[in-house]
Structure 1
Amino acid sequence: MNKFKFLGLSLLLFSMANAQDANEAKKAIDAEQYQKAKTILKSLIASKPEDGKNFFLLGDVYLTQMEQDSAAATFTKGKAAKDNASFNDIGLGHIDLNNGNAAGAQAKFDAVEKDLKKRDVEQLVYIGRAYIYAGKPDYKKAVAVLNKAVAKDAKYAPAYLYLGEAYYRDRDQNNAYKNFRTASELDPSLLRAKLQLGVITKNTKAAFPEAVKAFDGIVAANPNYGPVYRELAETYYLWGTTDSSKKKEYNPKALSYYEKYMSLTDYSLDSRMRHADFLLLTGDYKALEAEAQKMQQMDKVNPRILRYAAYAAYENQNYPASITAMKEFIAKVDPKRIIARDYLYLGLAQLASTVGKDDKDNSIIKDQVQFDEAIANIKKAAETDINITNEFNAIGKKLFDQKLYGPAAVVFEVATTNPENRNLFYDNFYLAYSIYYDHVNKSAEAKKANTAQLVKADTALAKVIELSPEAQDAYLYKAKVNQNLQTNDAYAEMARNYDKYIEIVTAKGGAEVTKATKTLIEAYSNAGAYYAVTDKAKAKDYFTKALALDPNDQYAKGELQKLK
């Protein structure tokens, strides 16, 4: 009998140890120590394969790390477990949501709910989480499910935590804050709730000191809680970005906090990827390239690592390596995961590789095929996400400065397709500017075939004038463009635009007239030539004014003689 008592006590202790280990796994997951969590859970599965919940928790870690195949296999095994098997239906339902199969997910969740006991709430929380973290999230459904959990057990802190998360991601900050606060009050040890309160404060931007104070409070409670250091890093980064006077001081501080976060998250591939994201954000491309190399040693098949390698190599001016890495990334990754910036970096690396110099130090295209591919990829970036055109201004200007006017015009034209582009004024002007200089450098034969481009330039300048009616250079170049169109209507438009240019510049008087002497003489002379046919008095006035600016102007003198 004593042996049986001892055996019973041993089983109880074994059960308590396993329960504690499961809680340790949950703590590791919350602390973003995913490798540690996986090790604990695999050990639990080996020692207690009848508990399906351990399979579910392991599969959920795989989902967090975007290893969906491993997650699916783990959930499927968990469904065969004797106890808690239904948790794995929640995991498989999450995968259905990721794959766009909402009906399949709903059927699985309904089946789980149907078998819940009166006080079961944890399953409802995990269903809510599935809706929050799915590839295609549904925050409204998450809120509905999590409210059921709260109705069942008003003291269950995790339900409020994830209710807060659903509201937060649905941009309802007031309800998010309220629920995070309730979760923290119900369970003061729930650091994630305190963390999210600080995140909401951080995102107000004006409240960076208050956010830092909140995060420092978490550090005081548990200095080994890694995620808080990531939030401190991001807070100081944003603070420095918002207040440029603090950037020099706060950027290194941010990077230091991120290194602390890394040291507390076991340097797993997942935490390294988070680190890489932050290095990308802060523009530390040397460190990013080093981190990408370390990740490639750990995992030679994960395509996301190639993205980091490509971005870093481009920024470090290693263009061939950038092209190779990005092409390999695009070939390997799920097409749905390719973003506009991927095409942009590929296009930029190809551009940089194809532009060279001739023996007179003029910029030339060394490889027309690759250059055309570069332009196609830059266009594809805009097709993927039109908002990336906000960054095209710098790309186009670089090409313009290299006197690659035709390619620059292509980039600016793509940029102007976005009516919300914050550089719309300048991109339209540079589009016209680039087309004009490309045109005047063409052969006489090529100029004849370039009319459509000149019309584009005229339209772009009309947009510039619409955005800023006093933009004197827009009128000047609109006149130049129309002069090159060489039709009667175009010459009339040329004269009208020279008139407007003259009006704006002379109204400013003094220094502006002196500064614009050369272009004013051009305007008086070209418009005067047009008015010599249509309005001789105005032509005389213009040529006289040209001579006032330059008494030695032989053209103006000759034209005045003809008009006498």
Structure 2
Amino acid sequence: MNKIKVLSIALLTSVTIGHAQDINQAKSAIDAEQFEKAKTILKSIIKAKPSNGTAAFHLGNVYMIQNNIDSAKIYYQKGLAGSEGARLNNIGFGLIDLDKGDQTAAQEKFALATKDLKKKDVEEYLYIGRAYMYSLKPDFKKAIEVLNKAKAINPLDPQVNLALGNAYFGDKNQNEAYSAYRNAYSSDNTLIRAKMQLGVLLKGARAFTEAIKAFDEVVAINPNYGPVYREFAETYYLWGRNEPSKYRMYVDKALTNYEKYLSLTDYSLNSRMRHADFLILAGEYKALEAEANKMVELDKVNPRILRYLGLSAYQNGNYDVAISSLESFISNPANRVIALDYLNLGYAKIKKSISPEGVLLDSALFDKGLLDVKKANEMDAVNSSNSLSEFGKKLYEQKLYKQAAAIYEIAVSNKESKSYVLDNFYLGNSLYFDNTGKDVVKPDPIALQRADLAFGVVIEASPKTQEAYIYRARTNRLLENDELMVKNYEEYVNIVTAKGPEELAKPAVIKKIVESYNTSAASYANTDKVKAKEYFNKTLAIDPTNQYALDSLKALK
């Protein structure tokens, strides 16, 4: 009987060790971003032992990473009923509460996870800290607070130090992040992610050469560690953005490294989606369209594929596909719609409403597109502003001034935009030119008053922008506001005069000075002949043969 007992204990121990090894294999796969592999391992553990709450928790986490909340909930719920690691699943539900913005409910779940902990337990604090970081609404300071509780229990725990490094990095504390990553790698030199994160810090500091060198060191240790190639890709992309003259070279390197990353993780739909997100970031829309069509072959009903098809179709000029794809994606309430979805849908409608020659074909469709663009700006004004400026400029260059003005009106609603002043200039110009066309029977005073305000913004922010004065003067001429017209013409002349002889010698400037004097003189012709003559004589001083000034002076005598 004693022999049987000993054998039974040995068998039980070997099974327990086997499960632990499988869990560790799953953790390694998750760290390597091989999520499909991790799911396979974890599902096999749960199949062999349905009461394994730890495996259920990690499987739920993988589904959360893949944005499959419903499946995550199923496994967290299953894990709560487990015989081991059950309490961890409260953390999973707490993360879901954090994503909803329900801090109180999340803290209640976290309290359940940490209730009656043993003195040396740190795992629960580790995962709570990660939950605060990985939430859609991250709270890095709270993560640091929780993780420091774990560090107080075990200062050398490598995973705790790695998580602390991530929390400090998120909180923009580079020094503490570096110290934490270094401590993590010192405690466990197989924890290659900690070493990689030291390179990520350099990438964040735009020390691109040093970052690449750091990632090369990771590759020298383990050339099959997939995530490092993603970091290579992102670093080369940022480097290219930082050095426009070398952009193409660095983006090509970025794309090559991202392909390497995919080959070492998996070519699952979720991996392809991560690749698609990077292609959007890099502006590689031909490649995005190819990737989207590959994803369709894997899953014809996944809604996010519609986003990729829509974005790539718009950028590649296939507006009908863009509109149908993005409308289908946005109309599904289960999808997490972002500003970029509405922005590209609006742009696609506007582009379709205009012929390649710059003729407005469908004003109703344009207006629908404009509403989508406004919606995008309401959702995310910061990231929409640059795009709006560029899009408005294209309409302006096509001489679609009314339509350009409508776009710039949305753009200037964000006063924090880097292009706020320039957008106001183009808004004013668009409104002015829209009221000076051949087909204009009578200028629109409301539109012109708006133009005047826009030029006023430019002048207040940049008082030496001479073109703002000349166009503001012209706008007030249309408004028949002679006083403001003359005032702005005078300001124009004063500014270009102050810039010196070189500026005054420019033919375009001379022409505008003549315009300023002649138009101001004409406004005084019926009320102050002395003033009128003074201005006409100023014209003749720089353009002695100016026929309008000569004829007008004769008429005034």
TM surpasses 0.5:
yes
| Cα deviation, residue 153, structure 1 | 2.0
Q: Distance in 2 between matches of 1:16 and 1:481?
A: 82
Q: Which residue of 2 aligns with 1:341?
A: 340
> 1:424-503 alignment to 2 at 5 Å?
424-441=420-437, 446-447=442-443, 450-486=444-480, 490-503=481-494
- Superposition deviation, residue 237 in structure 1: 1.6
Equivalent position amino acid for 1:402 in 2: Q
Q: Hey, what does 1:203 align to over in structure 2?
A: 204
**Whole-angstrom CA distance in 1 between matches of 2:267 and 2:514:** 68
> 1:269 deviation in Å?
2.2
User: How far does residue 550 in structure 1 lie from its aligned partner after superposition?
Assistant: 5.2
Superposition deviation, residue 97 in structure 1: 2.0
- State the match for 2:368 in structure 1: 373
Per-residue CA deviations over 1:261-302 (Å, capped at 9, x if unaligned) read 010111122221221121112221111111112223323343
Question: What is residue 394 of structure 1 aligned with on the other side?
Answer: 390
Distance 1:80 1:177 in 2: 40
TM superposition shift of 1:40: 0.4
Q: Report 1:310-325 matches (<5 A).
A: 310-325=310-325
What is the identity, as a one-letter code, of the residue corresponding to 1:232?
A: F
Q: How many residues align?
A: 553
Work out whether residues 95 and 106 of structure 2, in 8 Å CA contact, stay in contact via their aligned partners in 1: yes
**1:303 touches 1:333 (CA, 8 Å); kept in 2?**
no
Alpha-carbon distance between aligned partners in 1 of 2:52 and 2:192, rounded to the nearest angstrom: 27
The letter of the residue matching 2:507 is T
SS at match of 1:422: coil
Instruction: Give 2:329's aligned residue.
Output: 329
One of 507, 511, 516 as aligned partner of 2:509: 516
User: In percent, how many aligned pairs have the same letter?
Assistant: 50
| Conserved? CA contact 1:505–1:513, under 8 Å | no
* Cross-structure match for 2:182: 181
Cα separation, partners in 2 of 1:425 and 1:25, compared to 1, 3 Å = same
Q: 1:93 to 1:421 in 2, by over 3 A?
A: closer
Question: Is the 2:182–2:194 Cα contact (8 Å) retained in structure 1?
Answer: yes
Whether contact under 8 Å (1:164, 1:175) holds in the other structure is yes
**Residue 333 (structure 1) shift:** 4.8
> Are the structure 2 counterparts of residues 144 and 515 from structure 1 closer, same or farther at C-alpha, using a change threshold of 3 Å?
closer
Q: Distance in 1 between matches of 2:391 and 2:198?
A: 40
Code of the residue aligned with 2:350 in structure 1: it is L
Q: What is the alpha-carbon distance in structure 2 between the residues aligned to residue 3 and residue 366 of structure 1?
A: 88
2:350 alignment partner in structure 1: 351
Q: Distance in 1 between matches of 2:267 and 2:545?
A: 76
Tell me, yes or no, if structure 1 residue 15 matches structure 2 residue 16: yes
Q: Per the alignment, in what secondary structure is the counterpart of residue 135 of structure 1?
A: coil
Partner-residue secondary structure (3-state), 1:365: coil
Q: Which residue of 2 is the match for residue 555 of structure 1?
A: 548
Corresponding residue of 2:219: 219
Equivalent pair of 1:276/1:308 in contact (CA under 8 Å): yes
Q: Deviations over 1:71-116 (max 9, x none)?
A: 1111111122222222222222222222233222222221221222
Aligned partner of residue 417 in structure 1, secondary structure: coil
Displacement of 1:404 in angstroms is 0.9
- Deviation string 1:382-409 (CA, Å, 9 cap, x unpaired) is 2222222233221111111111111111
Report the Cα distance in structure 2 between the residues aligned to 1:29 and 1:156, rounded to whole angstroms.
19
- The more displaced of 267-276 and 19-28 is 267-276
Q: Distance in 2 between matches of 1:39 and 1:386?
A: 42
C-alpha separation between the residues in 1 aligned to 2:479 and 2:84? 81
How far 1:124 moved relative to its partner?
1.9
- Equivalence for 1:68: 69
Residue 270 of structure 2 is aligned to residue 270 of structure 1: yes
Q: CA RMSD in A?
A: 2.1
Alpha-carbon contact 2:156-2:183 (below 8 Å) kept: no
Cα deviation, residue 54, structure 1: 0.8
1:106 aligns with 107
3-state SS of paired residue (2:84): coil
- Normalization by structure 2: what TM-score? 0.94
Contact in 1 for aligned 2:26/2:38 (Cα 8 Å): yes
* Pairing 1:85-104 to 2, within 5 Å after superposition: 85-104=86-105
| Letter of the 1:353 counterpart | K
- Deviations, residues 234-260 of structure 1 (Å, cap 9, x unaligned): 112212221234323322111111111
SS at match of 1:473: helix
Q: Which residue of the partner structure matches residue 283 of structure 2?
A: 283
5+ residue gaps in structure 1? none
- Residue 547 of structure 1 deviates from its aligned partner by 4.2
More deviation, 75-84/283-292: 75-84
In structure 2, do the counterparts of structure 1 residues 248 and 99 end up closer, same or farther at CA, with 3 Å as the change threshold?
A: closer
Query: For 1:383 and 1:105, how far apart are their aligned partners in 2?
Result: 29
- Supply the distance in 1 between the matched residues of 2:5 and 2:456 (Cα, whole angstroms): 94
Q: Give the whole-Å Cα distance in 1 for the aligned partners of 2:420 and 2:103.
A: 41
Consecutive unaligned residues of structure 2, counting only runs of 5 or more, are: none
